[in-house]
Chain A
Amino acid sequence: MGTVKSPALEPENRAEELTVCLVGMPNAGKTTLMNALTGGSFHTANYPGATATILRGKSKPEFGPTITLVDLPGVHSPVAPSPEEELSCRVLEGRHPRVQPDVLLLVVDATQLERHLKFAGYAARQGKPMVVALTMTDLLARTHQSVNDAKLSAALGVPVVPVDPRTGKDVERLIAALRQVASQPNQNNALAQLPDEPVAAYNEVRKLLTGSGALAQTVKGARATDLLTARIDRLVLHRYLGFPIFFIILAGLFAAIFWAAQPFMDGVEGAFAMAGKLAMSVLPEGVAARFIGEGIIQGVGAVAVFFPQIVILFFLMTLLEDSGYLARGAALVDRPLSFLGLHGRSFVPMLSGFACAIPAIFAARTIPARRERMLTIWILPLMSCSARLPVYALLLAALLPDAPWKAGLSLAGIYITSLLAGSLVAGLISRIAFRKRRSLSILAMELPVYRTPQLKPILRMTWKRASAYLKRAGVPIVVISSVLWLLSNFGLGARQPASPDGAARPIIAQSDLEHSFAAQLGQAMEPMLRPMGVDWRVGVGLISAFAAREVFVSSMAIVFHVADSEETQQAGLLEQMRAAKFADSSQRIFTPATILGLIAFFFFSLQCLSTVSVIRSETNSWRMAGLQLLFYTGLGYLVSVTLVQGLRLMGVE
């Protein structure tokens, strides 16, 4: 991605270059065509304020003068659009300030001509020159249809080019057609004459198709449907087998995220630790070197560890999406989810939330109704993301030192409980807060034809999504971890031990963690921490966890003075934690009650400022992000205190 000049901020209109927008309904093969046209060298362009992903790229050099290609999200219908659809509609209607296409490239599924051409009518009415790319022609045999592109082109008054984006066949013809309409716009675009009213429009489309002989059925009396897809659906949506298959697929997904990612995560962790040390040894010794080495490099490393999981998640999700199964999964769980006020499509973000809330929030873009989308985003922080895993591992090891299997079982329990808690919160909010206002809610979801997924485009798409994630989440992660490093490494000069030569102390000075601003914050919070049964040192851990939850583990090691040797760190930390006592009494800090309290706190609280910042930008609302931060952190605190005090009342220390 290094070679690309900040795409989002560049003006669109450079005089000579042709800009072509790919538009169409979902599953028409737009992105595959984009791959074929650009040779895969496109990137996601997140326009500021837009809650959808636009892909931008340049045509392959062998196709002649460069054409800028923009792939817009698929649109089912401009009626009641989702944010993704809304964005495409804005471009089509010329209401987008940055994307102003010269030519529209309508990608049309040959097996579903009526629906796709009806949509094409909407696009054509906006008056831009257009070319139709006919995809999925290889599936026509499966649906007993045949399409004559010359007749279709004559009937529509628009060039029609059948292409096979998977092999790149006839893509050059498409390019030629695009150049031609750019200089000589369509003369009699019949699509532009289609009425806006759907019933009349569909009648017109059918008249155009059958009247011209462009569409014919190869088997008399047959209706266009794919038997293979019907058979697979009979199996994967089977009354008894449907859910077992669904759960097996989910289990495979989880296994891949947690097991297959492990070696890569260790690699990333090691690489960042090394880079940090290297930076510190290369740079002149001092605060600056430590800031870069520890604060920035290792701080970012703490979050980057999860990148392999996110890449694997994106890969498998793209695979499931491409094969056609993802829509079936959404259909399977639509009923329980819509009962909770969510949507069948909420299941993809919820699933992603178990890896990381940030890609999960992006995934919520496909949910059409605003309320269901907001509610989905609202409960995502509850899904037990993998940053909580090291924290739970430490706390459970402290709670159940002699029985690793009990700890493992408890961990599984925590995961399931997080799903149940999310459901409960969604159900309560949709019943209480949204009780009065009626809102739009519609499924009517297309189940695409099953196709064998192709590895290369999937890998490409995975990389695009992963790098878009890095771009979007990277900045807040760097900023937040820098700020937290500064807070825990600097303190008021007056609080620092006097220097041996008796020099005057500066107002703000370098400090160890115990005398830092973070410690001061922790001590100021101590009255609030006492009900949770912990002291300010744990408070420092909780504050530092706002950079990323698992930072809790490393700050605990610092505040409890654990010697820094990699292998023994956890064992040493556990020992220190077991021995830790309050400064003013001989009471131990980590008792079963307080450990359970801490687990409850991590379970609920939204301790991830990167997530908060992404919620802000996705929902375009500080209110939503702030409310969520307060709600979950407050809830975590309340539950934690109630749990600790309740257990103590029952005699559990």
Chain B
Amino acid sequence: MATITTTYSSLPEVNVEKGAPALRLLDAPHDRWHRIRHLNGPKEECQRLLDLGLTPGEEIAVVQSVPLGDPMIVLVRGTRLALRRREAAWIWVQ
């Protein structure tokens, strides 16, 4: 095992440039913080995600994928969540 050099509390900060293009969390680069812009997906599922704390304006980072690539592990509001790629595709970030 290679030693772990990055710690999540020192992930690169959110890019706050105005007018930065939105992209899906699914396609967003790993190991950096992104800001959630909006959710766009099936209503009930998105409501549950919102309720779990994935709200617009909140910071989120993808820190790991599991061996099969799905789900991915995200960090949001101090919690590690396993999100399916399908769910990550509903989350638009900057």
A: residues with CB less than 8 A from B are 76-80, 111-112, 114-115, 118, 143-144, 198-199, 202, 219, 221-225, 227, 229-231, 233-235, 237-240, 242-243, 327, 330-332, 334-336, 338, 344, 438, 440-447
Contacts and interface: CB of A to CB of B under 8 A. Distances in A.
Nearest to B1: A235
A83 to B, nearest CB: 15
Contacts of B52: 76-77, 115, 444
A114 B77 contact: yes
Given A202-B53, A231-B4, A447 B84 contact: no
A443 B50 contact: no
A-B pairs, 8 with minimum CB distance: A224-B78, A77-B51, A331-B82, A447-B80, A198-B50, A242-B67, A222-B9, A335-B70
Contacts of A445: 71, 81-82
A224 B55 CA distance: 17
A351 B27 CA distance: 34
Interface of B: 1, 4, 7-9, 11, 42, 44-45, 47-53, 55-59, 63-71, 73, 75, 77-84, 87
9 contacts: A78-B51, A79-B44, A118-B53, A227-B8, A227-B9, A230-B7, A331-B66, A336-B68, A440-B42
A225 B79 CA distance: 7
A336 B50 CA distance: 26
A234 B4 contact: yes
Contacts of B80: 225, 229-230, 233, 446-447
Contacts of B70: 334-335
Contacts of A332: 66-68
Contact of A444 (B63, B64, B75, B87): B87
A230 B8 contact: yes
A221 B13 CA distance: 10
Contact of A199 (B9, B44, B50, B59): B50
Contacts of A330: 82
A229 B66 CA distance: 15
Contact of A114 (B42, B44, B47, B53): B53
Given A242-B66, A334-B70, A225 B48 contact: no
A225 B87 contact: no
B50 A334 contact: no
Counting chain A CB atoms within 10 Å of each CB, the highest count among B44, B63, B65, B77 belongs to B77
B55 A202 contact: yes
B88 to A, nearest CB: 10
B58 to A, nearest CB: 7
A447 B83 CA distance: 10
A76 B69 CA distance: 25
Contacts of B51: 77-79, 118, 198
A622 B89 CA distance: 39
A80 B82 contact: no
A440 B51 CA distance: 16
Nearest to A333: B68
B63 A230 contact: yes
Contacts of A438: 42
A402 to B, nearest CB: 42
B48 to A, nearest CB: 4
B53 A335 contact: no
A225 B75 contact: yes
A199 B73 CA distance: 22
Nearest to B83: A444
B8 A446 contact: no
B67 A80 contact: no
A446 B80 CA distance: 6
Contacts of B45: 80, 440-442
Nearest to B13: A221
A105 B11 CA distance: 36
A486 B45 CA distance: 53
B82 A219 contact: no
Contacts of A224: 77-78
B49 to A, nearest CB: 6
A108 to B, nearest CB: 13
Contacts of A235: 1
Given A230-B8, A444-B87, A237 B50 contact: no
Nearest to B3: A231
Contacts of B58: 202
A404 to B, nearest CB: 36
Given A79-B51, A199-B56, A235-B1, A223 B67 contact: no
